[in-house]
Amino acid sequence: MKKDDHYLLGSLLKTTGIKGEIILKFNSDCSEEIQKLESIFIDVDNKLVPFFIEEIKSKSSTIAKVKLDGLDLEEKSIEFIGSEFYISFEQKKILQITSDEFIDVAGYKVKDQNNKLIGEVIEFIDISKNPLLNVRTASGEVLIPAKDELIIEVDDDLQEILINIPEGLLDLD
């Protein structure tokens, strides 16, 4: 199965208990509709492997505990920790997930942690575990990591992204 045909929903955070339960971390708020999920697809060596859900319980808007069919021991589940999981686009509709982060940031101004203008976003490049902003600067184009831990603020009204630029990133030519 191809990743392009599926929606990246989150990652497997850690095991919990001795029966192989796993804590799922969702990339966005998961609705109460999460109970309707029948399966997820786990990225195993760049291939999507389906797993049926025996039981799922929401712990918060972005965390759930899941029991997957066939993973009945912690030793079996632990090998999947850190992996990403996907759902079909049909399942995405059921969960009422309507928007992805960074879809409409083209044209936004990018400023560093000191509020200094860096440039303008040309495009958001959605690379799993390494999203990037392609930014047009005065000296050309530069790719800036768009990880949550680096983004200070996104102001949709002003169309600005305030980001903590890693030291030396803009010095590369």
- For the residues 119-144, what does the mean pLDDT come to? 87
Select 109-167's CATH number: 2.30.30.240, 3.10.20.740, 3.40.50.2300, 3.40.718.10: 2.30.30.240
Q: Is the pLDDT of residue 155 over 60?
A: yes
Position 66 scores a pLDDT of 93
Taking only the tens place, the pLDDT of each residue in 24-79 is 988 777 666 777 789 999 999 989 999 999 999 888 778 889 999 999 888 889 99
CB–CB of 2/15 below 8 Å?
A: no
Task: Report d(CA 58, CA 134) in Å as an integer.
Answer: 36
Which pLDDT score, from 0 to 100, does residue 3 have? Answer: 75
Question: In sequence order, which residues have a C-beta less than 8 Å from that of residue 45 and are 6 or more positions away?
Answer: none
What pTM was estimated for this model as a whole?
A: 0.56
What average pLDDT does this structure show over 75-101?
A: 79
Asked if pLDDT for residue 103 goes beyond 60, the answer is no
Task: Tell me the pLDDT band of 5, cut-offs 50, 70 and 90.
Answer: confident
Question: What ranges in 12-157 are assigned the alpha helix state H?
Answer: 74-77, 89-94
Q: Could you tell me the residue ranges of all domains in the chain?
A: 3-94, 109-167
CATH 2.40.30.260 fits 3-94, yes or no: no
Question: At residue 173, does pLDDT exceed 60?
Answer: no
Distance of CA 48 to the CA centre of its chain: 16
Tokens representing 113? 């942690």
* CA–CA separation, 94 and 116 (whole Å): 42
Residue 62 CA to residue 58 CA, distance in Å, equals 8
Distance, first Cα to last Cα, the chain: 39
- Residue range 141-169: mean pLDDT, rounded: 86
What percent of the chain lies above the pLDDT cut of 70? 90
